[in-house]
Chain A
Amino acid sequence: MLLEIDNLYVNYKSYWYTLKVLNGVWLKVEKGERVGIIGESGSGKTTLLKTILRVLPQNGIISKGEIRYDGRNILKLSDSELAKIRRKEIGMIFQDPMAALNPVFKIRDQLYDILKYKMTTEGHNPSSKELYEESLRIFNDVRLPDPDRVLESYPFQLSGGMRQRVMIAMALASAGKLLLADEPTTNLDVTIQDQILKLIHRLVVEKNLSIILVSHALGMVYQMTDKVYVLYAGDIMEEAETRKMFNKPKHPYTQLLIASTPRLSSVGVGEGIRGKLPDYRNPPAGCRFAPRCPYVMDKCINTKPSRIQLSAEHTVSCYLYD
């Protein structure tokens, strides 16, 4: 087991109120496994990834839970141990490369910074020629054309697809074991998205990385992963092997979500899901999907359903299967 999250609670505190976002999240990632997390925007997907790297904003409080990475509890590590993991083992591709890259430094400065830090801590002080060669190597990895121009550019001078490739190159420089990808293609056109996904897929296989791919684009998760978790309003609703999840979803939320996705082969989409995400200041006490669920029962409202193991590769949290 590479990563195991158990009973994780994360709140965002402000002066007036507390947003209770993650509500006992659990998750397992094996070595080399490709894991997807799906759910609507605002369901806590990004918060979960940020918690794994412990890069939550200052008001984000981890109130309970455990994140075991390679046998160690990430939540108890010292800053220097954590820095080592971020530097060499876990890399993250952020959603919006324009926001993640520094707008006032050239790509060269930002990339060299990462490479230099990494090499120096390995006890080797790189010359600028070595840094340049290493940059060319990793740019070649992500199939970035015209690397010399890219190095001399500021982020705004690159196209969206190229910025995302730069981001992936940077993330890979520090992802030795696990890659966290947070909606890696949301702002890209479909033809570019396809190129980027194939690129990530190839790199993950080549380097035998584990990946957690977070997305609300279900097709992407279907194509790229072995196992899927459904996250709704901070709760894991269902876990299953990818084909099983998309062919035979069990949780009402998953069923409605998948039925809502437009298909190419047929006309007609499901009726969608009424209502909206709950208010995190005062979330439902029981199942967090209860207010929107067409099959809601009395017990759903008061107590949170526990995990039910349907088969070896399928787990659901819903009273319908009790």
Chain B
Amino acid sequence: MQDDIILNVSDLKKYFNTAEGVVRAVDGVSFNIRYGETLALVGESGSGKTTTGHVIMGFYSPDDGKIIYKNRYDLSAPMKKRPLELKRDIQIVFQDPGTSLNPKRLVKDIISLPLLIHKTIDKRRIYDKVAELLEYVGLSEEFMFKYPHELGGGEKQLVAVARALAPQPSFIILDESTSALDVSSQAKVLNTLVKIQKELQLTYLLITHDLGVVRNISQRVMIMYLGKIYEEAPTEKFFKSPMHPYTQMLLSSIPTLSEEDEKIKPKGIESIGEIPSAVKPPNGCRFHTRCPFAKPVCSQRDPPDIVLDSNHIVRCWLYE
């Protein structure tokens, strides 16, 4: 394995048993994340992007596949077997800070809990550290003595970010971390995330459905649909020349705000149909039921990985 890779996921599978049958939430996903980069995992609801993140966090153990972290830890082992230092090193920021922050605790207690658990700091200095963390995410010291309900949506999410930073992790999963926020508070959170990433050399896995956010903070993008990854590219290239028909459909569906943005949207493709059930995913390419360019082979066999250039990969029969 290369040295610059922090996380290596190969052929990851996670199935859930439900009353309707087996849901193949993640069905054979492989990717690498490099140190210090932001990798965006993009998909619609039901695509399996959150499940992927949660398996990495250890909320579920995978049914199959390997996750290797920093060349030495095996993340497919259950959460309970992870050493404390590993738990400290991987943190997550959830979607809704209204439910991820304890409403009965003061901000100082919310942020100091991980400090106490991981004993990263002398107990007597703990509130200095909390103040420092708050300042880091752009909140003043006064916030220490507030309850979550006294804060605005963006401020709450910044507290959640400060809490994730507290145990000094090197890898943070951002699970739809800004999608519950208004754009006015989202901007502040995005800018803060970019700033702390540079200063602390953090690695992010950004799980989102919002391509505008992707454009602004990530270096690479992966597109997920019904449990599989269909395109992977550096952000610039991704927006300039999206290859997979699903990617093109996604981009063309975004309501844009200016003429320049409008030009970026792929032409000649229109959104049709809905995402099928993950209990009985279509054979072959899972997107073929909605794809305007589908050929007979698409419904029969899985498309191969097609490497367009060193770091742009698409799985689609069109480019065979």
Contacts and interface: CB of A to CB of B under 8 A. Distances in A.
Interface of A: 40-41, 159, 161-162, 189-195, 197, 216-220, 222-224, 246-247, 256-277
Given A40-B184, A262-B213, A271-B187, A190 B257 contact: no
Counting contact residues on chain B (CB < 8 A from A), the size range is 35 or more
Given A263-B212, A264-B215, A218 B260 contact: no
Contacts of B44: 189-191
Contacts of A266: 215, 260
Contacts of B241: none
B160 interface: no
B218 to A, nearest CB: 10
Contacts of B186: 260, 262, 269, 272
Given A190-B209, A195-B272, A267 B215 contact: yes
Interface stretch (B9-17, B65-73, B114-122, B247-255): B247-255
B293 to A, nearest CB: 16
B257 A246 contact: yes
Contacts of A159: 274
Interface of B: 44-45, 151-155, 182-191, 209-213, 215-216, 239, 249-258, 260-261, 263-265, 271-272, 274-275
24 contacts: A159-B274, A189-B209, A189-B275, A190-B211, A192-B274, A194-B252, A195-B272, A216-B182, A219-B256, A224-B255, A246-B257, A259-B187, A260-B184, A261-B183, A262-B186, A262-B213, A263-B212, A264-B211, A267-B215, A270-B187, A271-B187, A276-B152, A276-B153, A276-B155
Contacts of A247: 258
A262 B215 contact: yes
Nearest to A187: B45
Nearest to A246: B257
Given A246-B257, A276-B152, A267 B188 contact: no
Given A41-B182, A194-B252, A264-B256, 19 more contacts: A40-B184, A190-B44, A192-B274, A195-B271, A222-B258, A261-B257, A262-B186, A263-B257, A263-B261, A264-B254, A264-B264, A264-B265, A271-B187, A272-B185, A272-B187, A272-B191, A273-B185, A276-B154, A277-B152
B103 to A, nearest CB: 16
B257 A258 contact: yes
